[in-house]
Structure 1
Amino acid sequence: MSSDTLAKAAAPAPPEPADILRIVPQRRYGQWTAAVAVLALLGFAVNSVLRNEAFQWDVVAQYLTTDSVLRGLWLTLWLTAVVMALGFALGALLAAARLSANPVLRAVSWGYVWLFRSIPILVQLLLWFNIGALYPQILGVKTVDLLGPVTVAVIGLTLHEAAYAAEVVRAGILSVDRGQIEAAQALGLSRWRRWWRIVLPQAMRSIVPPAANMLIGTLKGTSIVSVIAVSDLLFSAQLIYHRTYQVIPLLMVATIWYTVVTSVLGVGQYYVERHFARGAGRTR
């Protein structure tokens, strides 16, 4: 008998299918219990909101698209757009000054950011609203005639947002690897072309997410201008419930519109982030 035959005879027989260990999935009882508990609480909360007569959903539907509410919504959107545009324009200048080699510009930029991030936005708005007590006239014109509530809101919100925008832009620029700029210099690209083609597209990946959060925060933050009688969305709702005493339904009207707009902005944020993230990840 050959050695191969003896080896085969001595080898153990292959296991029967019944002897093979069966893989049993891990039981996740805790996760399923937590999921069921959360869904139950969520269902209870939604049912409570929808069936609670105090919300007066018929009144909410009645005032949701009234002219005064839509005018307030338009002013809120306009304020948000203007404040974000002016705030980021000023913030970009402040960021450039902070990154410059000039110590005076760096000190002034740092001082601006420190000051306007230290003062609450409500205090800033009230200070600007009462600026006439300090300067009764500006360029020969009465301050109260020159600075109306809407103008005060734009100035106060813009100066406040610029302080945060400056840090967002500065962080985005600093996130770009120094080697990228050095490579662009080695290729002989001009300073403007380096910033426009090399630095800015890469910096935007870091700038867009916090900038979008600032945009949504500014949209909601405009509601604070109601304290200086600016007819934004919240102030328009307040005018109605001061007359009808239907406080909760009118607050729900404002809540619904804020939720709708912020949801739309969130979708826009997703596509903008995806646009600037092109080429940043690996594809298989």
Structure 2
Amino acid sequence: MEKIGSDLYAALIVGERWKIYLEGLANTLLLSLIACLVGVLIGVTVALLKTAAAGKKSVGWRVIAGICEFYTTVIRGTPVIVQLLILYVLVFNSSFAACIAGFGINSGAYVSEIIRSGIASIDPGQMEAGRSLGLPQGKTMRLIILPQAVKNILPALFNEFIALIKETSVAGYIAGRDLTKMSDALRLRTYNSMPLFIAAAIYLALVVGLTAVQKRLERRLARSDRS
């Protein structure tokens, strides 16, 4: 116990090292939030394009559908760390920009499938009803289909954000100053592994807290469906 206490003191108190964890946590949350927004924008765009292209026989729509399918297949089929390294080495000089792009593009591939499945879960008669009222397809999708689909997929999108927070732990491979990277740097300075246990505890607290929020959201949505 004495050793654990001294390791905790060295990892947290000496030189106000607790501030380093806060800096890493802030960077992790900022990176996750921005990358999630980028992923949602990409995901919505890809999902709408794939949905619009379904059943279309023109060459243009078939090309668009092929590009979207290629994107989701490649991104979901390759490790995120490899994608980050490619972006960092070949495209960006900034590790933060590479992380935003890498995690955003990676998340977008998964979000697009979530949104596409949400749209597919809506009764096709809803689209037909909108069109019968004289609404164009795009407006019917925006005003009738998407609001219902978003309600169905909100829990899954929230779960994707939780997964994204954990995925950012590999940002240190390209010099990203996230919570894991900062904790590992402290490990080298303190000569003990306590900083890594502290980082794990912070991640666990984040995930447990966000999961509780997600479950509460699911219960509220379920109540609104029954009412």
Over 3 Å counting, the alpha-carbon distance change for 1:230 and 1:175 in structure 2 is same
Structure 1 or 2, whichever has the larger Rg, is 1
Partners of 2:82 and 2:188 in 1: CA distance? 25
Structural mapping, 1:34-113, within 5 Å: 54=4, 56-59=7-10, 62=13, 66-99=18-51, 100=53, 101=56, 102-113=61-72
Which residue does 2:212 correspond to in 1? 267
- After superposition, the CA RMSD in angstroms is 2.5
Match of 2:73 among 92, 109, 114: 114
Supply the distance in 2 between the matched residues of 1:58 and 1:108 (Cα, whole angstroms).
54
Of 152, 160, 184, 2:98 maps to 152
CA contact (8 A) 2:12 2:18 kept: no
Partner of 2:183: 237
Instruction: Give the secondary structure class of the aligned counterpart of 2:177.
Output: coil
Match of 1:221 among 146, 159, 167: 167
Shift of 1:177: 0.8
Deviation at 1:244, TM superposition (A): 1.1
Aligned-partner residue type, residue 74 of structure 2: L
Aligned match of 1:210: 156
Q: Within 5 A, what are the aligned runs for 1:19-34? A: none
Q: Kindly tell me: are residues 198 and 65 of structure 1, through their superposed partners in 2, closer, same or farther at Cα, counting changes over 3 Å?
A: farther
Question: Could you give the per-residue CA deviations for residues 223-255 of structure 1, whole angstroms, max 9, x where no partner exists?
Answer: 0011111111011111111111121x1111111
1:220·1:258 contact (CA, 8 Å) conserved in 2?
A: yes
Change (3 A) 1:172 1:82: same
Q: Which amino acid aligns with 1:220?
A: K
Aligned length: 218
Residue identity in the other structure for 1:162: G
Which sections of structure 1, spanning at least 5 residues, go unmatched? 1-50, 132-142
Q: Whose helix fraction is larger, Structure 1's or Structure 2's?
A: 2
- TM-score between both structures, scaled by the size of structure 2: 0.85
**SS in structure 1 of the partner of residue 150 of structure 2:** helix
Give runs of aligned pairs for residues 245-256 of structure 1, distance below 5 A: 245-247=191-193, 249-256=194-201
Q: Which runs of 4+ in 1 moved over 2 A?
A: 51-65, 180-198, 270-281
Q: Cα gap change, 1:65/1:245 in structure 2, threshold over 3 Å: closer, same or farther?
A: closer
What residue number does 1:45 align with?
Answer: none
Query: In the alignment, which of 181, 191, 203 is matched to residue 258 of structure 1?
Result: 203
Which sections of structure 2, spanning at least 5 residues, go unmatched?
none
Give aligned-pair identity as a percent.
Answer: 28
Distance 1:189 1:275, change over 3 A: farther
Distance across 1 between alignment mates of 2:125 and 2:2: 61
Quote the Cα distance in structure 2 between the aligned partners of 1:242 and 1:219: 24
Give the TM-score normalised by the residue count of structure 1.
0.69
Compute the displacement of 1:58 (Å).
4.8
Q: Distance in 2 between matches of 1:276 and 1:193?
A: 25
Give the distance between the partners of 1:106 and 1:52, measured in 2 at CA. 62
Match of 1:180?
A: 126
